[in-house]
Amino acid sequence: MAKDIKISIRNLYKIFGPTPDVALEYVRKGMGKADLLEQQRHVLGLRDINVDIHDGEITVIMGLSGSGKSTLIRHLNRLIDPTAGEIRVDGEDIMSYSEEQLRKLRRERMSMVFQKFALLPHKTVLENAGMAKDIRGYTTSDFEADARKWLARVGLEGNEYQYPHQLSGGMQQRVGIARALVSDAPIMLMDEAFSALDPLIRSDMQDLLLELQEELQKTIVFITHDLDEALKLADHLVILKDGEVVQQGDPQEILLNPGDPYIVDFISDINRARVLRVRSVMSPPDDGEATFAGDISEKDNLETVLLKSDGDMSLNFRVVRDDQHVGTLHMKDLARALVPTAASADRNKTAA
> In this structure, how many other beta carbons lie within 10 angstroms of the beta carbon of residue 47?
23
Query: Distance between CA atoms of 170 and 157, rounded to whole angstroms?
Result: 14
Instruction: Identify the weakest region by mean pLDDT among 9-13, 104-108, 132-136, 227-231.
Output: 132-136
The predicted pLDDT at position 289 comes to: 64
Query: Domain coordinates of the chain in residue numbers?
Result: 55-84+93-249, 273-338
The DSSP code sequence of 290-317 is S--S-EEETT-BHHHHHHHHTT-TT-EE
**With left for phi above 0 and alpha for psi between -120 and 50, is residue 262 left, alpha or beta?**
alpha
Residue 87 per-residue DSSP state: E
Query: Distance between CA atoms of 275 and 266, rounded to whole angstroms?
Result: 14
pLDDT above 70: residue 272? yes
pLDDT band at 294 (very low <50, low <70, confident <90, very high): very high
pLDDT above 70: residue 260? yes
In the chain, which ranges are continuous DSSP H helix?
20-28, 33-40, 69-76, 99-104, 125-129, 131-134, 140-153, 169-182, 199-216, 227-233, 251-256, 261-267, 272-275, 278-281, 302-309, 331-338, 342-351
Query: Distance between CA atoms of 224 and 227, rounded to whole angstroms?
Result: 8
The predicted pLDDT at position 195 comes to: 84
For the segment 292-321, the average pLDDT, to the nearest whole number, is 92
Q: State whether CATH 3.40.50.300 applies to domain 55-84+93-249.
A: yes
Instruction: Pick 273-338's CATH classification: 3.30.930.10, 3.40.50.300, 3.30.2140.20, 3.90.1280.20.
Output: 3.90.1280.20
The predicted pLDDT at position 287 comes to: 64
pLDDT band at 286 (very low <50, low <70, confident <90, very high): confident
The predicted pLDDT at position 259 comes to: 86
Q: Is 349 or 128 the better-scoring residue by pLDDT? A: 128
**With left for phi above 0 and alpha for psi between -120 and 50, is residue 310 left, alpha or beta?**
left
C-alpha separations of 157 from 154, 162, 178, 180 in Å: 8, 11, 11, 17
For the segment 341-346, the average pLDDT, to the nearest whole number, is 50
The DSSP code sequence of 164-193 is GGGS-HHHHHHHHHHHHHHTT-SEEEEEST
For the segment 56-82, the average pLDDT, to the nearest whole number, is 94
Burial class (CB in 10 A: 0-12, 13-18, 19+), 37: middle
For the segment 292-298, the average pLDDT, to the nearest whole number, is 92
For the segment 274-285, the average pLDDT, to the nearest whole number, is 90
What backbone torsions phi and psi does residue 113 show, to the nearest 5 degrees? Answer: -115, 120
Burial class (CB in 10 A: 0-12, 13-18, 19+), 195: middle
Q: Is 133 or 5 the better-scoring residue by pLDDT? A: 5
pLDDT band at 162 (very low <50, low <70, confident <90, very high): very high
pTM above 0.75, yes or no: yes
- pLDDT digit string (tens) for 163-204? 999 998 889 988 989 998 998 899 999 998 888 788 888 888
Which percentage of the chain shows pLDDT scores above 90?
A: 62
The predicted pLDDT at position 341 comes to: 60
What is the average pLDDT value for the chain, to the nearest integer?
Answer: 90
pLDDT above 50: residue 282? yes
Closest CA to 160 of 180, 140, 138: 140
Query: Distance between CA atoms of 234 and 54, rounded to whole angstroms?
Result: 12
The DSSP code sequence of 15-46 is EESS-HHHHHHHHHTT--HHHHHHHH--EEEE
pLDDT band at 351 (very low <50, low <70, confident <90, very high): very low
In terms of average pLDDT, the best of 56-60, 131-135, 195-199, 348-352 is: 56-60
Query: Distance between CA atoms of 73 and 126, rounded to whole angstroms?
Result: 27
CB 186 within 8 A of CB 147: no
The packing angle between helices 169-182 and 199-216, to 10°, is 20
The predicted pLDDT at position 343 comes to: 46
CB 112 within 8 A of CB 133: no
The packing angle between helices 331-338 and 302-309, to 10°, is 130
Query: Distance between CA atoms of 44 and 47, rounded to whole angstroms?
Result: 7
Strands lying side by side in the sheet with 110-113: 110-113, 187-191, 219-224, 58-62, 236-241, 244-249
